[in-house]
Amino acid sequence: MDRGDDYAAAGFLGRIGFGARPAVVVVDVVTAYLDPASPLSDDGGRFEKARAAGAELVDVARAHDVPVLFTEVRLGADGVDGGHFRRKVPALAAFEPGSPWAAFPDAPAPLPGEVVVTKQYASAFFGTSLASTLRFLGVDTVLVVGFSTSGCVRATATDALQHGFRPIVVDEACGDRDAQVHEQNLFDLDAKYADVVSLADAVAHLRTSTPTPQTRSSAVIEQDLYDETLKWTSFAPAGADQKAEMAMLRSSADGTSRTVLVRFPEGWKRAMTGHQPAGEEMLVLEGALSMSGHTCRPGALLVVEPRATRSETGTEVETRAVVWFSGAAGGWTEGPSDDAGALGVHELAPGVVRPAGGVLPGSVEVLDGADLTTFPSDVDLCWTTERRWAHVPAGETAPRHDGPVVVRHWA
């Protein structure tokens, strides 16, 4: 009799099943597990594969109005708030002040308005408001993903059960430094405390059983880019010497196109060379950003094609910019690309700035802001002198402001 049959015959391996209202809890997906220099990382790429799977699940959850919550570990300088756990695992120093490893990766990472639970121990429920938050949201099912399978994922899934939630652990979206430890803990969780499901099954459930919300595709969104009420979220790209900030302006339902307002501090620097699958176009409002020897200032557009090799990036003064991303988030790979796209700076002059038909979807042009009416496809508009931005769905009447407007056609 194999192990599964033996456990089933003994009365284990029952099924809990999904409830009516799921949420995704992303447990400690931070650079401490992804940076090879960190003592918590692995040498087999297991954490990176789990990160990518988790990012896929998060994108689907957001597209179907499923709440996504994140956890992070933060310890004081002396580690006393980590108690005997900090003593037992000295590597937890990675989460003390001054460590570069406590930051979220590019994806999955919390968007403005998403809950981030700060914890000191393994379980996301212990000593936190997570259970209360989930109940407030009406959640009955918790899909658990993250790091590590044998530690914080296991503790969180077990506590989810003990708090009355249905715990669903997503196999490929969890990672551990040892493959056998990962498999053994998944088996034990599945036998006693949670349902362990494949990424494909989790994605299929979110897509078929959860109603997709009506998107804002029929509404014009307009934003003052210097509004003091903007909600900023700190982030630290891999290799950056300090955090920057971002405010999400718009994201498509499938997460493949995003408009983000970013703010870099004076002297921000990212010395790492690498590439990512998403394309990126940056419109600088103030300051200047240099990347791979190209400097983008107000009046210019930085165009970074998918997989373009990015070398040293930085700012000398505080810099604010609108960034258009096209393609799935995440996937940063250190080192030069074998299939590198182009990277360059284009001056913003009336007419077409970046034509259609290349590797990036849509096009970019500069028009007179007073002459706008409607567009045949969705567009983003940015009045750099007025410091305003708008998203205008196809066929809707665009707002009008004096002066030139940069038009980002999404198709």
Q: Using omega within 30 degrees of 0 as the cis cutoff, is the peptide bond preceding 148 cis?
A: yes
Instruction: Read off the tokens for 347.
Output: 């001056």
Contact 114, 250 (CB under 8 A): no
pLDDT digits over 15-61, tens only?
Answer: 999 998 999 999 999 999 999 999 999 988 999 999 999 999 999 99
Contact 86, 75 (CB under 8 A): yes
pLDDT confidence of 253, banded at 50, 70, 90? low
The predicted model scores a pTM of 0.55
Angle between helices 46-63 and 199-209 (to 10 degrees): 10
Spell out the domains of the chain, with CATH numbers in brackets. 3-209 (3.40.50.850), 221-409 (2.60.120.10)
225, burial (CB in 10 Å: exposed 0-12, middle 13-18, buried 19+)? buried
Task: Give, for 63, the enclosing helix (H) or strand (E).
Answer: helix 46-63
User: Average pLDDT in the 132-144 region?
Assistant: 91
The single-letter code of the amino acid at 164 is G
| The pairing of beta strand 141-147 with beta strand 351-354 | unpaired
Instruction: Read off the tokens for 137.
Output: 């949201």
361 phi/psi in degrees, rounded to 5: -70, 150
pLDDT digits over 194-237, tens only?
Answer: 999 999 999 999 987 654 333 334 478 899 999 988 878 777 77
- pLDDT at residue 327 above 90? no
- pLDDT at residue 323 above 70? yes
Task: List the catalytic residues.
Answer: 152
